[in-house]
């Protein structure tokens, strides 16, 4: 097998699964980022609110 064919075959074998899995990786990264941002906003809002009972926000 020529060297270029070996390189091309290796690129297809490695690149094929990577290309197919990229959308899942991007979706997971996006959802984790959204979850972290939302959790930070909720924590900031809870710090600003005054609790009716002192331990209410510490649970």
Neighbours of 2 (CB within 10 A): 7
Report how far apart, in Å, the C-alpha atoms of 44 and of each of 7, 20, 33, 36 are.
Answer: 52, 38, 17, 12
| pLDDT score of 42 | 92
Q: What are 15-45's pLDDT values in tens digits?
A: 888 878 888 988 999 999 999 999 999 998 8
Domain boundary assignment for the chain: 3-58
| More confident of the two residues 32 and 5 | 32
Q: What gap in Å lies between CA 49 and CA 11, rounded to an integer?
A: 56
User: What pLDDT, on a 0 to 100 scale, did the predictor assign at position 22?
Assistant: 82
pLDDT at 55: 63
pLDDT at 50 over 80: no
């Amino acid at each position: 097998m020529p060297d270029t064919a070996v390189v091309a075959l290796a690129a297809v074998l490695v690149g094929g699964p990577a290309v197919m899995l990229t959308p899942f990786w991007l979706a997971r990264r996006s959802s984790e980022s959204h979850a972290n941002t939302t959790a930070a906003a909720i924590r900031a809002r809870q710090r600003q609110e005054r609790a009716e009972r002192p331990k209410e926000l510490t649970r």
